[in-house]
Structure 1
Amino acid sequence: MVASSNFDRRLTKQVYDNVHRNIFLDPLCLKFIDTEQFQRLRDLKQLGLTHMVYPGAVHSRFEHSLGVYWLAGEAMNKLATYQGTELDIDGDEIQAVKLAGLLHDVGHGPFSHLFERDFLPQFLNGQKWSHEDMSVRMIDYIVDEHHIEVDPTILNKVKEMITASSENVPGKSAREKSFLYEIVANGRTGIDVDKFDYIVRDTRACGLGCSFHFERLMDAMRVMDNEICYHNNDYLTIHKIFATRADLHRTVYTHAKVKAIELMVVDALVKANDFSRIAARAQDPALFCELNDSILKFIEFSSNNELKESKDLINRIRRRDLYKFCGEFSVPKDKLDHFKDITSKDIICSQNSGPVELKEEDVAVSIIKIDLTNGRNSPLERINFFQDVESNEKFPIQDDRISHLLPSSYQDMIVRVYAKKPELVEAVSEAFENFQRKTYGTILQVHATPERKKHMR
């Protein structure tokens, strides 16, 4: 429900605790929201193609962006209330953080991260492209296109905050008031309001439990030595954030069926690219606005013969004739340091002679990395805590001081293989097993596909 007046507008939405809260949108943020570029986020599902397995996962980046805007404002209000004088927080800084929360995903491509992670790299010849960088370009485009009057200092801070999750942001550690850059996208600790919103929103949409309460963290957080620190009683809450995120990756974002659909969509987009110039549109903000999840509908209902192969793949998805799962294994912990991406060629080169000769285009390989935001290391080692509100000392907490039940390893690398045609499942499965024997001396996967089980009886 949207109401308006001469002084403000409020968006009423259900958020987190099954009650309706009013989100007050300030006039500057409304100028950005009321543009076709921002409204495009309504047509981008937050979880991309996940809704084809989890039907409830149909929420959009539009509502997520409003949620991050609200949480960014809440975080700044709490800091201003308890440490505003000490930190010299002013209204422009609060405005910049809220605007960064609102616009952090305005440069996101279709189908969640599939667009920039799996599709675009095939056309960029090594050139880097990220939705954060595109968000910065889109912000400039929106300001110019709609003649939005905004203080250049505020706008520069907004753009820096959006790219602050990058480890390569120049001078990040020496930046004045660097704690402001840890609220929306935190590259230092991985704790930010973006995660607060999407973890709670995604778990609820997919019917999973969420066992942490970010409100507790926001109530007790404190800036010490220019970084956000947390009360030492909250270390388990923080660990639950990372554990819940990892669980979402394992059970939802990288679900075997979801990945099968994603692989098929990538193949469909690649085949359609010459005709539809999808990749080229990602280089121009004006054309980028045309890209959303409706690409599949355009292909599906096109009568152009150049899109026939793409259309056939999308029709297979509609009929649930998906690429067939042939097995997976977790890379052994002692092999992670020297792991090299496994390709379709690696699998077919492991095939024994038989009635079917596999080709590279018959096999799809998905490499899945799941961690707690800090690679193979504990995320808690990057976070500082304090003992009480009177304390001026910050300190890290080692895992063994928290619990002996915490994991000894913080990263999984999963190799998953699919056959693109049902009749090839047996041959691909055997080749995949041969690859594991040649590479690791044993078969690492802990289960076989249903098709393989039939032949093992």
Structure 2
Amino acid sequence: MAGPVSSLGYVNTERKFLKHIRDNVHGNILLEPIFLSFMDTEQFQRLRDLKQLGLSYMVYPGAVHSRFEHSLGVYWLAGKAIDAIKKYQGQELGIEHTDVLTVKLAGLLHDVGHGPFSHTFERGFLPLVLQGSTWSHEEMSVKMIDHIVDQHKIDLDSELLKKVKEMITSSPGHSSQREKRFLYDIVANGRNGIDVDKFDYIVRDSRACGLGCNFQHERLMETMHVVDDEICYRANDYLTVHKLFATRADLHQTVYTHAKVKAIELMVIDALVKANPFLQITSLIHQPSEFWKLDDSILKTIESSSQQELKESRDLIQRIRRRDLYQYCNEFSVPKERLDHFRSITPQDIVCSQTNGANLKEEDVVVSYVKIDLTRGRANPLGSVNFFKVLIHLNSLLLSLLSFSFFFFGKYID
């Protein structure tokens, strides 16, 4: 059971109220009562039933880890990051206990509003059934946090809770006027994309899929320094920062957008679209009191149903089980010099161009657009990152800010 939690959010750290969880990436993860009061709820435990990589496990059998493990990992790394900054700059930056608590809670809860099948639900299914949908898992996470606090009567300072939610939805425009802005870059960094969310999923996903990972987040976290309210990195570590972005892009190309994974995702999307009129899936996405019931098990619900209204959806899922997948046909990489003038190709374009008598119909063809970049489109991601070099002057240490935007000229987007 979780121990007592005070109204100000201060943590009772008596040993009997602590919990240790063994994580296969970070080792022992320690949880204090305030974090357990959120974790030991049905809303958070739902994350065990959401695979981190969605349907990728059907191609990479080891990719069965869940958003639950990832959330614990982000919580742990968020704590490590703020502790490292506090150790060397705590007094200078005015870092308080509540700042540490806020950052760690944001790490723990950042994905609590995620939908099924990774981003397939949000970016693939919802736009087809709700025209102009702006639904996002970040906004649902904010709603879900309020729901957890209300339903489980968690006594937490409202201002602290507000900051937790702001850290989850952080963006440069929203955080520019905030006090201690650097705190908002730890979990979800809208400024340059370097955050502990990426640190965890890059290492965790690589390991689960049996891929090598030469990115070392420990190196960055040990030496990062706050300058002008921004987290900066040692000049010697510019290659490590570049590896973060490069490894992420490699995972997108190798795993997340694998041709078979995309085929299965498209089939699941079609199955959900056909099932929606009967199951009313979209009616669950607005209120957290309903949304928490939605997870990856919806496929099994459809598959095991005998309802005639779900027959087409069942047939599609059966095809996936029997490996009768949509067939990958071809791909075309748009040259970077033509990106600005590239016109989207539609299924109609392809059907109208067929010359071999295949008699394809528009509904037989899906065109999938995949953009893989280093988080900054065609721009060099290092151009958004500040680095520092330590200078010794009159027995004092000075920090000189540097830019590495001129490094790695070449292609940053595919």
Verify same fold: TM over 0.5. Answer: yes
SS at match of 2:64: coil
For residues 193-251 of structure 1, the C-alpha deviation after alignment (integer angstroms, 9 at most, x for no partner) is 00000000000011111112110100100000000000000000000110000000001
Whole-Å Cα distance in 2 between the matches of residues 263 and 217 of structure 1? 38
State the Cα RMSD in Å.
1.5
SS at match of 2:92: helix
For residues 47-99 of structure 1, the C-alpha deviation after alignment (integer angstroms, 9 at most, x for no partner) is 00000000000000001000000000000111110000000000001000000
Determine which of 387, 390, 393 is the counterpart of 1:388: 390
Q: Under a length normalisation based on structure 2, what TM-score does the superposition of the two structures give?
A: 0.93
Whole-Å Cα distance in 1 between the matches of residues 258 and 357 of structure 2? 32
In structure 2, what residue type is equivalent to 1:379?
P
For residues 320-355 of structure 1, the C-alpha deviation after alignment (integer angstroms, 9 at most, x for no partner) is 000001100101111212334332222212223x53
Q: Can you give the 5+ residue segments of structure 2 that lack an aligned partner in the other structure?
A: 3-13, 392-396
Instruction: Tell me the CA shift for residue 124 of structure 1.
Output: 2.5
Whole-Å Cα distance in 2 between the matches of residues 322 and 407 of structure 1? 39
Seq. identity, %: 64
| Aligned position for 1:49 | 55
Instruction: Tell me the CA shift for residue 407 of structure 1.
Output: 5.2
Determine which of 79, 89, 97 is the counterpart of 1:83: 89
Determine which of 288, 293, 297 is the counterpart of 1:290: 293
Instruction: Tell me the CA shift for residue 5 of structure 1.
Output: 6.5
| Aligned position for 2:203 | 200
| Aligned position for 2:189 | 186
For residues 297-325 of structure 1, the C-alpha deviation after alignment (integer angstroms, 9 at most, x for no partner) is 01111100000000000000000000001
1:53/1:407 CA distance change after superposition, 3 Å = farther
Determine which of 99, 120, 124 is the counterpart of 2:126: 120
SS at match of 1:67: helix
In structure 2, what residue type is equivalent to 1:399?
F
Work out whether 1:329 is the aligned partner of 2:329: no
Work out whether 1:224 is the aligned partner of 2:235: no
Work out whether 1:129 is the aligned partner of 2:135: yes
| Aligned position for 1:365 | 367
SS at match of 2:138: helix
Whole-Å Cα distance in 2 between the matches of residues 22 and 291 of structure 1? 30
SS at match of 1:24: strand
Work out whether 1:13 is the aligned partner of 2:19: no
Whole-Å Cα distance in 2 between the matches of residues 60 and 78 of structure 1? 27
| Aligned position for 1:28 | 34
Instruction: Tell me the CA shift for residue 174 of structure 1.
Output: 2.0
In structure 2, what residue type is equivalent to 1:69?
Y
Instruction: Tell me the CA shift for residue 173 of structure 1.
Output: 1.5
SS at match of 2:16: coil
Alpha carbons 2:17, 2:32 under 8 Å: kept: no
SS at match of 1:371: coil
Q: Under a length normalisation based on structure 1, what TM-score does the superposition of the two structures give?
A: 0.85
Instruction: Tell me the CA shift for residue 149 of structure 1.
Output: 0.7
SS at match of 1:386: strand
Work out whether 1:62 is the aligned partner of 2:62: no
Whole-Å Cα distance in 2 between the matches of residues 145 and 259 of structure 1? 38
Work out whether 1:398 is the aligned partner of 2:408: no
In structure 1, what residue type is equivalent to 2:390?
D
Whole-Å Cα distance in 2 between the matches of residues 186 and 296 of structure 1? 33
Is 118-127 or 250-259 further displaced after alignment? Answer: 118-127
Instruction: Tell me the CA shift for residue 162 of structure 1.
Output: 0.2
Alpha carbons 2:390, 2:400 under 8 Å: kept: no
In structure 2, what residue type is equivalent to 1:7?
F
